[in-house]
Amino acid sequence: MVKQSLGPVAVGDQFKLATPNGPVFMVVKIREMKPVDHAQIVKVRDMRSPTLIAVTTLLNRDFYVPVAPENHQMPENDGILRGN
């Protein structure tokens, strides 16, 4: 399956806030917007509300640090209702 990408950022990539215990965000869609392209991201532990963020901000290590694929977190809410 081909992932939508914009240079070094692709759908499915995960980034964490550049703080010791920052939350992890996952790119769900990339929107090419001018003058700055944006990625639609969701917080991995809270998949309810997507947010737009500039791709240049994702690439700025002062704000976000990429999460290596082997360390990706699974979403807490995958949209499937399960009984206990």
Res 14: pLDDT: 95
Encoded amino acid at 49, one letter: S
- Per-residue pLDDT tens, the chain, 84 aa: give them: 346 766 788 999 999 999 888 899 999 999 888 898 899 999 988 888 889 999 999 999 999 999 998 999 887 665 555 555
Do the beta carbons of residue 45 and residue 16 sit within 8 Å? Answer: no
- pTM of the complete model: 0.78
Q: Which H helix or E strand runs over 41? A: strand 38-43
Give the ranges where the chain is alpha helix by DSSP (H): 55-58
Sign of the dihedral defined by the CA atoms of residues 79, 80, 83, 84, in that order: negative
If you count DSSP H runs as helices and E runs as strands, how many of each does the chain have, helices first? 1, 7
The DSSP string of 16-40 is EESSTTPPEEEEEEEE--SSS-EEE
The pLDDT, as a whole number, for residue 28 is 92
Question: So what's the pLDDT on residue 78?
Answer: 55
